[in-house]
Amino acid sequence: MQELLEMICAKTGISLYQAWWLVEHATQQKRTELMFLKESQLRPEQKEALYTMIDDMVIRKKPLAYILGVIPFFNVSIKVKPPILIPRPETEEWVSNVISMLDSYGLQEGKILDMCTGTGCIALAFAKYFPKTKVVAADINQEAVDLTFENTCFNRIPNIYLSTTNLFSELTGLTFDIIVSNPPYIDRRKKLSMKKNVLLWEDEKALFANDHGMALIKDIIDYAPYYMHDTPYKYNLFIEIAEYHEEPLKEFLQEQGITQYEFHVDHFGNVRMLAMKIKSFFTVEQIQASKQP
């Protein structure tokens, strides 16, 4: 089996750990059942399935996640389908850190908004960890909202609410304690250096944004005060960003009068997430009045 795994790694460029995932998926057997087998001992239909998947990755440049169909993300299992954006380990990392941060704040109840939810991975991770909260998963793409619904049912998480909306346009009258987002943020000029398996399979609208990738990031920061409660939490808005956004976003935050913020790096040492304290533009009385019929 080791020779087969090494061949898969060499052909596809995936890790040994990922090669095991592929073999397990193709054979529908667990690693413990496969460890001491040779390739010649696999059934013909298992070999056919495996080599079809390898060809999909090598020739069609299909991402491994789309082949597997389900991937782990923090505390949930996420179904992935093209062209909805595949959850990245870097996203999982900051989500884990933010959940730990909010846990330390004593968050239990309240409302959380996941803007640009995609597969729903972030919303579901928060909803499962904080079961007394209400989590709204919002996206402009109906396919993404449908997939989030599927993942909500798949994980049996009851405290998720879905919204098909262009940013905040369909959320009028709602306010939140926490807003999280992994919006499209790649500078279009980076397209030439990106991998083909990303460009050929994942939704371009979920990847790229104008203004060097910062257009939606700035929009979310601009509109967030109209949709937030004032809370005692140190930070209440968390957005995934690119490393090259740090300096221009510092200038933007200064222009907006936002002084309480910090940039978080991922395990590669790259800036990956911006945490901010956003003050509500409304008093408690105004927020309550906006909810009256």
pLDDT per position as a tens digit, 237-271: 999 999 999 999 999 999 999 999 999 999 999 99
Residue range 59-85: mean pLDDT, rounded: 97
Q: Does residue 5 surpass a pLDDT of 80?
A: yes
Q: pLDDT at position 287, please?
A: 45
**Other residues' Cβ atoms within 10 Å of the Cβ of residue 33:** 11
Q: pLDDT at position 284, please?
A: 45
What architecture (CATH level 2) is domain 88-290? 3-Layer(aba) Sandwich (3.40)
Q: pLDDT at position 286, please?
A: 52
Q: Does residue 289 surpass a pLDDT of 60?
A: no
Range(s) within the chain of domains with CATH label 3.40.50.150: 88-290
Q: Does residue 164 surpass a pLDDT of 80?
A: yes
Residue range 47-57: mean pLDDT, rounded: 97
Q: Does residue 47 surpass a pLDDT of 70?
A: yes
Residue range 173-186: mean pLDDT, rounded: 96
Give the largest CA-CA distance in the chain. 72
**Residue bearing tokens 């789309």:** 66
Instruction: Determine contact, residues 120/78, Cβ cutoff 8 Å.
Output: yes
Q: Does residue 87 surpass a pLDDT of 60?
A: yes
Average pLDDT, the chain: 94
Q: pLDDT at position 199, please?
A: 97
Instruction: Determine contact, residues 274/242, Cβ cutoff 8 Å.
Output: no
Q: pLDDT at position 188, please?
A: 96
How far apart, in Å, are the Cα atoms of 190 and each of 103, 193, 202, 213, 240?
36, 6, 15, 10, 17
Q: pLDDT at position 157, please?
A: 98
Q: How many residues does the structure list for the chain?
A: 293
Tokens of 206: 């979920």
Cα of first residue to Cα of last residue in the chain, in angstroms, is 66
Q: Which residue has the higher pLDDT, 173 or 216?
A: 216
**Other residues' Cβ atoms within 10 Å of the Cβ of residue 211:** 14
Pairing of strands 70-73, 76-79: antiparallel
Please confirm whether the linkage preceding 83 is cis (ω < 30° from 0).
yes
Tokens of 288: 């309550």
Q: pLDDT at position 282, please?
A: 59
Pairing of strands 237-240, 271-276: antiparallel
Residue range 146-155: mean pLDDT, rounded: 98
Q: pLDDT at position 293, please?
A: 40
Q: Is the dihedral of CA 199, 87, 234, 133 positive or negative?
A: positive
**Other residues' Cβ atoms within 10 Å of the Cβ of residue 72:** 11
Residue range 166-183: mean pLDDT, rounded: 96
